[in-house]
Amino acid sequence: MSDLSSLTAVRLLEGFSSGDFSPVEATRAALEQAEKVQPHVNAFVRIDGDDALAQARESTERWRRGDPQGPLDGVPVTVKDILLLRGKPTLRGSWSSSTEGPWEEDAPSVARMREAGAVFVGKTTTPEFGWKGVTDSPRHGVTRNPYDTSRTAGGSSGGSSAAVALGAGPLSLGTDAGGSVRIPASFCGMFAIKPTYGRVPIYPASAFGTLAHVGPMTRDARDAALLMDVISEPDARDWSQLAPPHGSFSESVKDGVRGLRIAYSPDFGGRVEVEPAVAAGVRRAVERLAELGAVVEETDPGFDDPIEAFHSLWFAGAARVTQHFTDEQREAMDPGLREVSEDGASRSALDYLAAVDVRMALGKQMGVFHETYDLLVTPTTPGTAFGAGLEVPEGSGYRRWTQWTPFTYPFNMTQQPASSVPCGLDGDGLPMGVQLVAARHRDDLVLRASHALYEAGAADVPAPALAGAE
């Protein structure tokens, strides 16, 4: 990667302020990376070079006058193609989506980024309607891992994770209804946080309801805190949003972990089989948190796997989003999405409400758990990236993506904030992730502990070789 394409957003802003380089130069570097890596990983639905450079020129002039528009002025960013971006089609990985406009609205988080001066490089790939934990779709094909293109980037925000990892802009917006920013962050060696539900306003509402969160996908936790300060601002279109946060995430992220009470659950009480390399990487991260002054106890929240309740909620959402499809549209769907939609349509309202009961009980259990522990630490995923174009790992015997993501989707059911932080590479050179979870409304604790790992050098992983490939 060029020097500029490898910098964090915070570092780019420092350079803009000092005059060391300009938003035009940073945007050109991001666009060059996007064009260079796109044939290898398929991270983008569209790359908007002309528009991005026009935005960057306006930003450069503002910096020249000493009058930046906002806290992201001139920073190249990308947006998952689930979220509305004004003037551009939002296709959601589906042949059922029309390219016809007028595309007059930004999603709330996109609007806040635009107001803050961000430069929009393009839109990133997603599986159809973001329905699974890997990224491939009938419309846009397979998105591949920057560390090994025979492997998946994860999903459903796999395009965003690959774009950030490969230098096509340091900030991206993803969505997460079952692990969809954390899984690809773990697989691609970068950072992501799923904020507390409602912390970042959403519009239009997701078909997957209050499971779905919008979150930052970034180079490190400090960049994510910066982006959270921007996208946590209110938007009248989301009736379920939270009140604006008290204080700045960018400031609170510096407070460290000394005295924080951390519960370390390596395998959910023996319920999950974790690859040895991943287990070792997570343990090293936990040991570093202890060295930094956290009080660590190996324990477990003790809940049963809520997979069937999650399926009732998730499959119902899939059925809803495809409810009005024509026979022709159904034929063009991802076969897996078609299966889960049919499953969801066959379940009753009582099945759905029973799943809500499970969700409420799990939320109570985790609320009580966090009266004792500030953070829960687990692996993000039990293993590293597997073959591209597959929903489940080869030879696993699994049927659905939820079976290999037991650490992520429970915390969508409880609406808690959770991050994925890199914790090294396995023997095949593939990134691994450690997940940090806090009580609802304590996004600050997740960001603080994540930033502490970066500051201590515990989250550093080598850049993918593809980033520098010609």
The amino acid at 107: A
Cα separation of 384 and 234, whole Å? 36
What tokens appear for 260 in the block? 């924080």
Partnered with residue 124 across adjacent β-strands are: 44, 80
Of 160, 180, 206, 420, the active-site residue reads: 180
Would residue 18 show up in a list of annotated catalytic residues for this protein?
no
Distance between the two ends of the chain, CA-based, in angstroms?
A: 10
Of 80, 88, 123, 132, the active-site residue reads: 80
What tokens appear for 405 in the block? 């993501």
Would residue 341 show up in a list of annotated catalytic residues for this protein?
no
Tell me if 159 sits within 8 A of 80, measured CB to CB: yes
DSSP letters spanning 290-347 = HHTT-EEEE----PPP-HHHHHHHHHHHHHHHTTT--HHHHHTS-HHHHHHHHHHHHS
Which residues, other chains included, contact 162 with Cβ-Cβ below 8 Å and sequence gap of 6+? 37, 41, 43, 124, 143, 144, 145, 146, 153, 184, 188
Tell me if 249 sits within 8 A of 444, measured CB to CB: yes
With 0-12 / 13-18 / 19 or more C-beta atoms within 10 angstroms meaning exposed / middle / buried, residue 38 is middle
Which residues, other chains included, contact 389 with Cβ-Cβ below 8 Å and sequence gap of 6+? 134, 136, 142, 152
Would residue 180 show up in a list of annotated catalytic residues for this protein?
yes
What is the CB neighbour count within 10 angstroms for residue 11?
16
Tell me if 379 sits within 8 A of 282, measured CB to CB: yes
Which of 11, 357, 18, 41 lies closest to 29, judged by CA? 11
Of 94, 156, 250, 419, the active-site residue reads: 156
H or E element at residue 192: strand 191-194
Instruction: Supply angle C-alpha 24, 29, 33, rounded to 5.
Output: 145
By residue count, the chain amounts to 470
**Phi (first) and psi of residue 60, to 5 degrees:** -60, -40
Catalytic residues: 80, 156, 180
